[in-house]
């Protein structure tokens, strides 16, 4: 049965108005009508299930939710299917159909029954105060150029692929877990239908959980302290993760996250995840890889040094950078020694000093998130010109000399950016020494 767009819009407006007024029976009628006219609109059907659940029509709500979950399953949307089945379990924790479907989704991913990857650990010769949280992949025999071309070809093949592979969020978190690990992680995630206008994360609060948007829209914003105005930073849609940085760094939230529409969220807390990581080494490995990728992605998008990189180049560099956690007072660069790495600070900070023959220790600079060091020695082929010591607990990334120099050889914009920065730093060094 057909219906014109104007009439359909009127029904939607009426349904929304009844919802706002709390007239659930009237809203139910309108959304049943909408679903009849648009049976493939899963958001409308989800809303119908929500209304049925609100009215304690549990059998009807479960039936509606399962229809939505089955549609997501057919379309290979893993996270969305999982979250809707978990909504069913909030109504009926022992629902056999939902549990059987979750088990089948797990097996259908095609991942071995148990993960076998070893836990990440610091290399035997790690410097005091440093812990290599995630090491880079083993050096590939292929050149950087060949690896970049390989990534481009792979992405082109994936774009043409119509085999119906499972759609994972852009993270290794779920795609690399074994069946038992996946089941345990999904079991720890809580699911909820959050109304529009709900603040899920408050800026300045401690981060003890992170979230996945199953369906909906999350507005990320900060409040300008001068005029109390909200400044929107981003909108996060289906499949997006958020809250993970404060979660992994055990720090405070740096922004507000609010539902811009009714949103289905998956949430896991620190206690549950740490318990799982203690029992399953592969979960720890995948979580650290997840954090590494998210952190590097943030640096690649915000630092001028990496602004000119193409997607395939970034993809290769994800595997080349090593993530390191450094305690306060850790020396990452020693003056007079040969430079081995380009260092990039993700969180924390470091102090740069040099030893002057007459003036002793002279402070040259303080470095913070998004700053880098070690480039002068690598580019000019000289010994390190300063000491760099962490001033607080820091998460850093380091890139080996060999990869760094190969990258510069094929990427002139990066070399131009570095040359400009080096000239400015050398001028600052001269100024600091004159003032000391």
In the chain, domain spans: 5-108, 120-165+284-436
CATH class, range 5-108:
mainly alpha
Query: What integer is the mean pLDDT of 95-104?
Result: 94
What percentage of residues in the chain have a pLDDT greater than 90?
58
Rounded CA separation 54/62 (Å)? 12
pLDDT band per the 50, 70, 90 thresholds, residue 202: very high
Q: How far apart are CA 319 and CA 138, in angstroms?
A: 9
CATH number for the domain running over 120-165+284-436: 2.60.120.10
Helix (H, G, I), strand (E, B) or coil at 396: strand
Write the pLDDT tens digit of every residue in 355-400: 988 888 999 999 999 999 999 999 999 999 999 999 999 999 999 9
pLDDT, tens digit, 9 for 90 and up, residues 6-22 = 999 999 999 999 999 99
The model's pLDDT over 42-77, given as tens digits with 9 standing for 90+, comes to 999 999 999 999 999 999 999 999 999 999 999 888
Global confidence as pTM: 0.76
8 Å CB contact between 35 and 50: no
Name, of 29-38, 112-121, 166-175, the range with top average pLDDT.
29-38
What lies within 8 Å, CB to CB, of 208 at 6+ separation is: 247, 269, 270
pLDDT, tens only, 416-432: 999 999 999 989 888 88
Instruction: Tell me the sheet residues that pair with 167.
Output: 77
Distances in whole angstroms, Cα of residue 372 to Cα of each of 114, 246, 351, 428, 432: 39, 22, 12, 15, 19
Q: Residue 71: which residues within 8 A CB-CB, separation 6 or more?
A: 40, 42, 45
Please say whether the beta carbons of 237 and 180 come within 8 A.
no
As a dihedral over the C-alpha atoms of residue 233, residue 238, residue 239, residue 244, rounded to 10 degrees, the angle is 30
C-alpha to C-alpha distances, 117 to 15, 289, 394, nearest whole angstrom: 51, 12, 26
């Amino acid at each position: 049965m057909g219906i014109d767009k104007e009439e359909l819009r009127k029904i939607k407006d009426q349904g929304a108005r009844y919802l706002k007024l709390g007239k659930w029976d009237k809203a139910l009628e309108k959304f049943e009508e909408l679903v009849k006219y648009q049976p493939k609109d899963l958001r409308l059907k989800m809303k119908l299930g929500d209304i049925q659940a609100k009215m304690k029509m549990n059998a009807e709500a479960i039936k509606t939710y399962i229809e939505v979950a089955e549609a997501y399953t057919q379309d290979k949307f893993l996270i969305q299917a999982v979250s809707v089945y978990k909504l069913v379990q909030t109504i009926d924790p022992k629902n056999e159909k939902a549990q059987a479907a979750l088990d089948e989704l797990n097996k259908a991913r095609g991942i071995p029954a148990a993960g076998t990857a070893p836990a990440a650990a610091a290399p035997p010769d790690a410097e005091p105060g440093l812990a290599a949280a995630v090491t880079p992949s083993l050096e590939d025999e292929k050149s950087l150029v060949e690896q970049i071309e390989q990534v481009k070809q792979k992405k082109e093949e994936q774009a043409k692929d119509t085999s119906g592979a499972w759609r994972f969020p852009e993270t290794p978190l779920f795609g690399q877990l074994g069946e038992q690990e996946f089941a345990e992680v999904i079991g720890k995630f809580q699911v909820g239908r959050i109304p529009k206008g709900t603040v899920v994360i408050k800026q300045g609060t401690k981060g003890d959980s992170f979230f996945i948007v199953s369906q909906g829209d999350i507005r990320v914003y900060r409040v300008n302290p001068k005029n109390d105005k909200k400044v929107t930073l981003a909108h996060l849609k289906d499949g997006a993760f958020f809250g993970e940085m404060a979660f992994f760094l055990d720090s405070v939230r740096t922004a507000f996250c609010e539902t811009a529409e009714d949103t289905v969220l998956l949430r896991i807390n620190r206690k549950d995840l740490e318990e799982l990581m203690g029992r399953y080494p592969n979960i720890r490995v995948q979580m650290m890889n997840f954090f590494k990728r998210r952190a590097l992605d943030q640096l690649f998008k915000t630092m001028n040094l990496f602004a000119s990189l193409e997607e395939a180049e970034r993809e290769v560099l994800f595997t080349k950078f090593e993530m390191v956690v450094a305690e306060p007072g850790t020396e990452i660069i020693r003056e007079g020694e040969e430079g081995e790495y380009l260092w990039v600070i993700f969180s924390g900070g470091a102090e740069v000093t040099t030893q002057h023959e007459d003036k002793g220790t002279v402070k040259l600079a303080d470095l913070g998130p998004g700053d880098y060091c070690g480039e002068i020695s690598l580019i000019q082929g000289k010994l390190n010109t300063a000491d760099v010591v962490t001033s607080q607990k820091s998460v850093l990334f380091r890139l080996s000399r060999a990869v760094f120099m190969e990258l510069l050889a094929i990427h002139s914009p990066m070399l131009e950016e570095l040359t400009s920065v080096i000239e400015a730093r050398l001028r600052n060094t001269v100024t600091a020494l004159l003032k000391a």
